[in-house]
A and B are shown apart, each in its own frame.
Chain A
Amino acid sequence: MITQGSSQTGTALLYVPGNSFIHRMNPLTKLVGLLWLAATTFMLPPGGMAVIFAATFLFGVLAGAGKAFIKRLILTLGPFAIFLFVIHGVLIERHDTIQHEWISFSPEGAQYMLKILVRVAALLAASMLFVTTTHPANLLKALDSHGVPPGIAYLIASPLLLLEPFSARARAIRDAQQARGLDLTGSWKARVKAFPALLIPLVTLALSDLDHRATVLDGRAFRARPFRVVLDAPVDRPYECWLRRALLIALPLQIGVLLWL
């Protein structure tokens, strides 16, 4: 009822509101699809992985999440590509390493680096497609409506929800300690020395919060029954059920083939 298209969430979510075909799919179908794609990338040659990457990227753009895709892909894959290139292309010596004055380069290493990079890019793009088109609230409702134990749904929801208040508290502790004279601008040694003064109150308060949160959950009868009644659960079309079943059968088979070969 509420979450689709909501823009007033303050949580650190990557979700991009929209009403595309991917947005409307049941979150569980998307989750199973993501798992299947992840397994598939390990079976395909680099060309196949590149196709998966391109397809998921295209779906992301069509779903209106192009900007988020590009930003995250550049931020994640850029440094990762440089790191891989230095390790596999330059530092690891192979039989085809070419030495030119002080620099060395291995074409085989570069090829291997490219293979890993394309696989990671495909996995990242598939994950991005999932998180940008699935609001966690809808994922929780889908899990609940399929009888997944409430404790598992809580494990997914609470880190996403509590991240923002936790960051706000960390900032408040930093400001309070700085007001009391804690130096966070000096040398790295001074910063390391200051670290416990920030970490200890943060952990202590988080533990105290846990206690309160447990009382609140108890008071609201959380897990008093093995299931929860969910309002506005995402639509689950028959073809999606069949698709999930097919993918769930294919998934272990693919992993089996991968291990066998």
Chain B
Amino acid sequence: MALIDIDNLVFGYGKATPVLDGVNLSIAHGERIAILGGNGSGKTTLAQWIAGSLPRPGMTARSGTLHAEGKPWSDWDALKRAETIQFVGQIPSQQISGFAFTVYDEIVFGPGNLGLEEAEIRKRANWALDTCNLRHLVERDPFTLSGGEQQRLSIAAALVMQPKALVLDEPTGNFDPESRDKLLNQINQLPEDLTVILCDMALKPALAIARRFVLLDEGRIVADSDAQAILAHPRTLEIFGAPAVTEAALAIRAAGRWPESKPLPFTYGQAETLFKEVSHAHG
């Protein structure tokens, strides 16, 4: 049974043009999936639907359904939902509960609400602190942390719930390249069975984490494939451009010298090997 099953979902705020316009998407347990799209493509709305924070009271889908493990989100109680899926939004300061005076208390806030045993809470908190590299900040007030530290704290507070899926909405949007790479590395080291759903408008985080890529454009899914196909998709190039090495390979392919069967590179490491192979093949 899929973790998330979205069937022809049409949703908009009020009477405005739908933000999601006939979305069909199935996400299996343990998948690492990136939902890519430009500004206003519907990524955040889709992420909130997946996480169960939409629709809010008084809102409904214009058509379609979303099921989590075979049941509509509305049939889930708050406790089960929190144990199943966790959402980390774009703005780090808005992800803090407002209940805890220290980083440690912020992390144990969720498990405390779940009613877990003290020993289990401490075990999970220690794991989350180490995973997100927060050990040195345990006594700090969450609101005095930098944006990057707050984002790591939000992820730790989500992970400590030990959900089956983690939905990350542009988690590295406010990061410098070094901090971004560190966080992506930490996300990559998360347990294999954890489903990670990354919504982003940058290719780099998506390529670093995901193995499946969904391209969202004006509320519709226009591509759902692996990295190779998504990088070669014309809308990807229009919206994001592509890494310099990929653009170079695409230019060579357009000139007929890069075979369709040869994968495109998207990191310098891959480029080194592939460019050598292509140049050898063409003498």
A contact set with B: CB distance below 8 Å: 1-3, 6, 8-11, 135-137, 140, 144, 150, 153-154, 157-158, 161-162, 164-165, 209, 212-213, 215-225, 227-231
Contact = CB atoms under 8 A, between A and B. Distances in A.
B128 interface: no
Nearest to A158: B98
Nearest to B117: A229
Nearest to A150: B113
Interface string B85-116: 01101010111111111101100111111111
A221 B113 contact: yes
A168 to B, nearest CB: 9
Interface of B: 48, 51, 53, 77-79, 82-83, 86-87, 89, 91, 93-102, 104-105, 108-118, 121-122, 138-141, 143-144, 157-158, 161
Contacts of A1: 104
A9 B98 contact: no
Contact of B98 (A135, A137, A213): A213
Contacts of B144: 8-10, 164
Nearest to B103: A2
Given A10-B141, A209-B94, A224 B100 contact: no
18 contacts: A6-B139, A9-B101, A11-B101, A11-B141, A154-B99, A157-B100, A161-B99, A209-B94, A212-B89, A216-B94, A219-B51, A219-B87, A220-B110, A221-B79, A221-B161, A224-B79, A229-B121, A231-B118
Contacts of A135: 101
B94 A227 contact: no
B149 to A, nearest CB: 13
Given A8-B144, A158-B98, 14 more contacts: A8-B139, A8-B140, A137-B105, A161-B143, A162-B143, A164-B141, A215-B53, A219-B158, A221-B82, A224-B82, A228-B112, A229-B111, A229-B115, A231-B112
A229 B116 contact: yes
Nearest to B157: A220
B143 A228 contact: no
Given A10-B144, A137-B100, A221 B78 contact: yes
A229 B122 CA distance: 11
Contact of A11 (B79, B111, B143): B143
B134 to A, nearest CB: 13
B143 A217 contact: no
